Structure 1
Amino acid sequence: MNRWDRIEAFVEVVRLGTFSAAARHLNVSSSHISRLIVKLEQQLGTQLLYRTTRQIKLTETGQIYYEHCRHMFDGFREAEAAISDMQSSPKGVLKLTVGTTFGERYIAPLVNDFMLRHPQLEVRIHFTNRRVELIEEGYDLAVRMGVLEDSSLIARRLWDRNERVVGSPEYFSRFSPPSTLQDLNKHQCLVGSRDRWIFSDKGVRREVRVSGRWHGNSGLALLDASLKGLGLTQLPDYYVEEHIKKGELIPVLGDFQFKDSAVWIVYPRHRHLSPKVRMFIDFLVEEIEKTKHQG
């Protein structure tokens, strides 16, 4: 550390022209600056400065040494300025992962709006329903749906997510609507990525295994199959709300509807979030709040 103190003192003396000016800049005494320069010259085994009562002047070796050291300290200042700038505005690459349908419909447009505000930001979005390991796979954050598992990640709730069981009017023209969870055994259930549907039975979470002749891992495909009368399906409300309002789907088992699910934004636990992550999270929360109120 002493070497850097000596080099910094030397650079500032040359840059500012006097020992006293360098001392004021570094908040030390002139005698301390003088001692640092002497020690630096002893360390290098050469004289760097000619000292007179009126001015200082670089020796030939001092000039060469100063040019190298000046560029080094200029680089330090530029690095500090760059970091300070990064702390005030989002730059660099923001890497996030989101669920496919919800991400395409709600998150991607907001990401695009955020990029318009911050043209120096680069964004990489990965759409997948797979649970991505954020730290291991190098992501800044994720938008996840459902009930969160215990983890070391920090989570912020973005949106309530209610699970709805629905069928089309055409389907219910052939089958009586279920009134109990046991009635699901009598129905064709459209099975998604999980063969267990989640319910709330008198305030207690309950999972019911379902079966049918349709299986798939796409929410939009499940929705289409339900609209075409192939069976009952359980989907989050953002898939089915518009179709319920239009009468194209009929919700059932409302007394058992599971409401303790949500859409979350999750990110690794760091002491200081980078501006790109912190500002994007704040932007996302604010814009989704607006969407809720408009709805």
Structure 2
Amino acid sequence: MLWEGISEFVAVAEKNSFTQASQQLGISTAQVSRQITALEKRLNTKLFYRTTRKVSLTEEGQIFYQHCRGVLDGLEAAERAITNLQAKPQGTIKLTAPVTYGEQQILPLINNFIQLYPEVEVTAFLTNQKMDLVENGFDLAIRIGNLADSTLIAKKLSQRSNYVCAAPSYIKKHGMPHSLSELEYHSCLMGTNDYWRFIDSGKERNIRLSGRLRYNSGVALADAALKGLGIVQLPNYYLQDHIDSGQLITLLDNYKIPNETIWALYPHNRQLSAKIRLLIDYLAKELTE
């Protein structure tokens, strides 16, 4: 009973015409009119102003329309959600990710994913800039660290660690720093920032440093560290294999910043399709193993 006349009412409200509403719904104009009349009687209020030339909403009709439109949108979204669960993933996914993390971690997994789902196509744009997903038409973004408040929905995928490391050859020649103040006496291999991040007495602290080398490439900085040219601070995906093999030794572990979260973000106002849901679940599974 509560649903009777709702679809007809919304169609007339949006078309401003009983005739066009009937054509949209595939029913007769007379049936649309009967449903609206019955709805107004049930609500005991007038929803439309009717003349021979024009149909428009009353003030009460405007309020009722806003609520009914939301209800129908929710019903359509619920039906799409069920359909997506049963649908075979296909079509294009457009995503963005940070450059290095995207190259080393995300895109190799994307390659595996499209082998599993050959009807899915992926367009990836790697950038360290925060792209507007809705404005630029992205279905998905991979972000690292703290998130700004937004209307985006976030799902945790994994974490990354940041290490301070040096090669045994460097430590043998220059010694090992045991406090943050000692870093200024060492050769520090710097990236695009002129500071390194630490936790000191429970608070995050940025230490400004300088060194002989400054690269905007984590791969090049890791290589310099391996060759004994200095101390480096980098995320684990540049260093973990070298740490495990003993080619690099971690330093200042007591000052290590907490792990940073890797996030998958997608627009709140966009229905999560089967292909996007599967990709997010796949990345979460593979990145945490």
Q: TM-score, normalised by structure 1?
A: 0.67
Question: Could you list the per-position Cα deviations for residues 48-87 of structure 1 after superposition, in whole angstroms to 9, with x for gaps in the alignment?
Answer: xxxxxxxxxxxxxxxxxxxxxxxxxxxxxxxxx9998667
- The equivalent residue for 2:172 is 173
Residue of structure 2 in register with 1:236 after alignment: 235
**Residue identity in the other structure for 1:106:** Q
Count residues in correspondence: 225
Does 102-111 or 253-262 show the bigger shift? 102-111
Amino acid at match of 1:135: V
For the residue of structure 2 that corresponds to 1:214, the secondary structure is: coil
Is residue 2:113 matched to residue 1:114? yes
Instruction: Give TM-score scaled by structure 2 length.
Output: 0.69
Residue equivalent to 2:195 = 196
Counterparts in 2 of 1:150 and 1:167: CA distance versus 1, 3 Å: farther
- Pick closer, same or farther for the CA change 1:257–1:119 going to 2, 3 Å: same
Aligned-residue CA RMSD in angstroms? 3.0
Q: Secondary structure at the match of 2:174?
A: coil
How far the C-alpha of 1:197 sits from its partner, in A, is 0.9
Counterpart residue number, 1:253: 252
Q: Is the 8 A contact 1:162 1:262 kept in 2?
A: no
Asked if 1:186 is matched to 2:185, the reply is: yes
Q: 1:5 to 1:138 in 2, by over 3 A?
A: closer
Is the partner of 2:104 in helix, strand or coil? helix
Counting only pairs closer than 5 Å after superposition, residues 206-221 of structure 1 correspond to structure 2 as 206-221=205-220
What SS does the corresponding residue of 2:239 show, helix, strand or coil? Answer: helix
Larger radius of gyration: 1
Equivalent in the alignment of 2:285: 286
Deviations along 1:227-264, whole A, 9 cap, x unmatched? 11111110112221211121111110000001141222
Map of 2:8 onto structure 1: none
Identity of aligned residues (%): 40
Name stretches of at least 5 consecutive residues in structure 1 with no aligned partner.
11-22, 29-80
Distance, in Å, in 2 between the alignment partners of 1:130 and 1:91 is 28
CA drift at 1:222:
0.9
Query: How far off is 1:183 after superposition?
Result: 0.8
Name the CA distance, whole Å, in 1 between partners of 2:146 and 2:80: 40
Secondary structure of 1:174's counterpart equals: helix
**Retained in 1: the 8 A contact 2:158–2:284?**
no
Q: Which residue of 2 aligns with 1:62?
A: none
- Asked if structure 2 preserves the Cα contact closer than 8 Å seen for 1:161 and 1:259, the reply is no
Structure 2: which 5+ residue stretches go unaligned? 1-11, 13-17, 35-78
Which string of whole-angstrom CA distances, capped at 9 and with x for unpartnered residues, describes residues 184-237 of structure 1?
111111111211111111221111111111111111111011111111110112
CA separation of 1:82/1:178 partners in 2, compared to 1, >3 Å: closer, same or farther?
Answer: closer
State whether residues 166 and 251 of structure 1, in contact with CA within 8 Å, keep that contact through their aligned partners in structure 2: yes
Q: State the distance in 1 between where 2:249 and 2:286 align.
A: 30
Higher alpha-carbon deviation: 102-111 or 81-90: 81-90
Q: CA deviation at 1:163?
A: 1.1
1:115-154 correspondence to structure 2 within 5 Å: 115-154=114-153
